[in-house]
Structure 1
Amino acid sequence: ENSLYEGMETSLRFLHSQIKSHLGICTTKPADTAQKILEMFELDQLFEFVSGGVIGIEKHQQLERLLHDGTISRSSLMIGDRFIDIRAARHNQLRSAAVLWGYGSRAELEREEPSYLLQSPSQIKELVD
Structure 2
Amino acid sequence: MNYQYILFDLDGTLTDPKVGITKSVAYALDKMNIEVVDYPKLDLFIGPPLQESFQAYYGLNEQEANEAIGYYRERFKQHGLYENEVYPGIEILLETLKKKGKTLAVATSKPTVFAEKILQHFKLAQYFDVIVGSNLDGTRIAKAEVIHEVLLQLSSPDKSEVIMIGDRKHDLIGAKKEGIANLGVLYGYGSNDELALEEPTYIVSNIEELDSILTN
Relative to the length of structure 1, the TM-score reads: 0.90
How far 1:45 moved relative to its partner?
0.7
Aligned to 1:67: 151
Match of 1:84 among 170, 177, 189: 170
From the superposition, tell whether residues 76 and 83 of structure 1 become closer, same or farther in structure 2 (CA, over 3 Å): same
Q: Percent identity?
A: 32
Point out where structure 1 has 5 or more consecutive residues left out of the alignment: none
2:163–2:180 Cα contact (<8 Å) kept: yes
2:93–2:211 Cα contact (<8 Å) kept: yes
1:80–1:97 Cα contact (<8 Å) kept: yes
Structure 2 residue 114 is matched with structure 1 residue 28: no
Aligned to 1:4: 86
Q: Secondary structure at the match of 1:25?
A: strand
Cα root mean square deviation, aligned: 1.6
Aligned to 1:106: 192
Point out where structure 2 has 5 or more consecutive residues left out of the alignment: 1-82
From the superposition, tell whether residues 70 and 12 of structure 1 become closer, same or farther in structure 2 (CA, over 3 Å): closer
Instruction: Please identify the structure whose Cα radius of gyration is greater.
Output: 2
Give me the whole-angstrom Cα distance separating, in 2, the residues matched to 1:16 and 1:67.
Answer: 18
Aligned pairs, number: 128
Deviations 1:54-100 (CA, angstroms, capped at 9, x unpaired): 32431112222333454452121100011000001111110001000
1:14–1:125 Cα contact (<8 Å) kept: no
Q: Secondary structure at the match of 1:125?
A: helix
| Higher-helix-fraction structure | 2
2:109–2:146 Cα contact (<8 Å) kept: no
Q: Secondary structure at the match of 2:85?
A: coil
Deviations 1:8-36 (CA, angstroms, capped at 9, x unpaired): 1111111112x111110010111111111
The letter of the residue matching 2:125 is D
Aligned to 1:45: 126
Give me the whole-angstrom Cα distance separating, in 2, the residues matched to 1:10 and 1:72.
Answer: 27
Relative to the length of structure 2, the TM-score reads: 0.55
Deviations 1:96-125 (CA, angstroms, capped at 9, x unpaired): 010001111111111111101011112222
